[in-house]
Amino acid sequence: MRHRQDRTRRAGRTSATAALAVLLGVLSAATCLAADPPREKVIEKGGARLYPVSKRVEIDGKFCLQEGPIELFACAKGGKEYESVISLDVNPEMLHFCLLMMRLKPGKPGTGPRFQGDPDRRPTGSPVTVKVKWRVGKVEEVHRAEDLCWNAIDKRTMLRTPWVFVGSKIHKDPDTGKKIYWANVEKSIITVYWDPFAVLDLPLALGANDEAYVVTKQLVPKRGTPCTVILEPAPPLKVKPTKNAAGGTIFHVDVTKGGRTLINNVEPEDAGKALEKTAKQAPKDSCRVTVDHGAPPQAIAGAFAAIDAAGIQIESVQMERVRADVTDAITVAVDKSGIGVRGKTLSDDEAKVVIQSLVKPPRRSGVEVKVAKGASLKSVVRAVRACQGAKGAVVRIVWFATGPPAKQGK
């Protein structure tokens, strides 16, 4: 009897152990299923792989430039590989389709550059983050596209920014008369030099300068290295307002090469009235002025005159894209006594005659306006207007480092 009971107990323990093992197996399988969801369906179009759930597009390619100036970050195979960091195996029009599938919107018609380097119209469209991954041995590298582009002017990598989906243009083929997605012809995918025919373009101001960017040779691998470019929707482009020491907002006044005055990247109908309105509503606000190299003196003077009339504090003034090869610019000094050239204080008419006679025609010449502490903005306006008609015009504005010009009573 005792032996029969022992056998019964052992059989019961064995059955319980087996049941526990089965239960653990089921739980383990359920955990694996939870950790490994069904694989996402990938849509492939012309070399672009669209992941509709995770919202990204991947394109394979290779590095085609290890150093030197660039106008594109990426071109399609057979495009301008001699000035692109990466060459991609993709059909540009199919890439456009994939970006639309992610609910990204191309720039509106009539916006964006009208031609390469158009200084007055920045690219528009939905923002897109661009990343690149490649392998070095067994190590996988992943970098933002900006890190692979070196700002040759500021001596640093490109500022972190999304690109924008400009969406190229539809043009009629002069030979066949058929309408063509022009990026298929130009093969421009992602550009750093503003281009109306690219799929993606750079929203930064330096995109209007074809000499601004070169390859970051310290980071880019050797030519021919396979890579994958990853495109993902980015948050909307928003500039957080910066506060000055007085608690007011710092805003930006830009004078473009085309002679336009932009305030916070928007062109008002009347810059003077817009600045005056800002000054009345927020008297503690201040501004930072950026002048494009090649901007007409009259436009520069007009912007300074509007700032002066509004009574807004200037925090800084800088020239954008200053040419380093300008070696023989004459200096027009602006100080408390007025404007002067070569140590002589001159009237406006005298200054204009002297400036035009001294500036030489070659490309390396021009005028350097040097503003001293205590100079009035009215004198700065007079000095810049005196440069009108001079060859090379204003090539540098050297602003004092100790504070803004003294305000004069109205």
Residue 118 has pLDDT above 50, yes or no: yes
CA 339 to chain CA centroid, nearest Å: 37
The two three-digit tokens of residue 216, written as one number: 């970051």
User: Residues 6 or more apart from 183 whose CB is under 8 A from it?
Assistant: 76, 92, 93, 96, 168, 189, 197, 198, 199
| pLDDT digit string, tens, across residues 355-403 | 777 776 655 567 888 888 888 889 989 888 888 877 667 767 878 744 4
Distance, CA of 185 to CA of 178 (rounded, Å): 13
Residue pair 251/261 in contact by the 8 Å Cβ criterion: no
Distance, CA of 73 to CA of 207 (rounded, Å): 12
Single-letter residue type at 58: E
Distance, CA of 380 to CA of 397 (rounded, Å): 10
Please compute the mean of the pLDDT values over residues 301-322 and round it to a whole number: 82
Q: Strand 286-292 to strand 249-255: parallel, antiparallel, or no bridges (unpaired)?
A: parallel
CA 258 to chain CA centroid, nearest Å: 19
Phi-psi region of 372 (alpha: psi -120 to 50; beta: other; left: phi over 0): beta
| pLDDT digit string, tens, across residues 41-60 | 999 999 999 999 999 999 99
CA 393 to chain CA centroid, nearest Å: 27
pTM > 0.85: no
